[in-house]
Amino acid sequence: MLRKILIFIPMLFGLLMGSLAFLSPELLGTALGVSADNAAGRGAIVGDFGAVFLVGAGASALALFQGKSHLLWIPIALFGVTIIGRVFDIVAHGFGPGAGQPIIIELVLTAMLFTALKLSKKEA
């Protein structure tokens, strides 16, 4: 049961954020500090953010509902590379306002997914 909860929450987060990228890129852009003022910005929010969140949610859903726990490596990798990029930016440019919350969220979601993956291996 714990494993399912640990997968469900990141899956739901990815589904909501990915849907928001498609349905309201301006709102998501504002929330993430990214500009949707022009076609390039909107396209990046819809395409890039939408893809990352929806692919992560889809892989989590397959792990949750079809028992394909190895697919949890996909959202773990997506969040992990994002965290690495954020840390790189902090090292290169300093810790600015708004930098902490996304890292904390991504670390928590990654920890949840990794724990679910470990629990899946114990149950197998």
Q: How far is CA 65 from CA 26, 48, 69, 76, 117, in A?
A: 32, 25, 10, 18, 14
Contact 121, 67 (CB under 8 A): no
pLDDT at 33: 84
Domain that holds residue 93: 2-123
The one-digit pLDDT tens for each residue of the chain (124 residues) are 999 999 999 999 999 999 999 999 999 988 888 888 899 889 999 999 999 999 999 999 999 999 999 999 999 999 999 999 999 999 999 998 888 999 999 999 999 999 999 999 876 5
Tell me how many domains the chain contains: 1
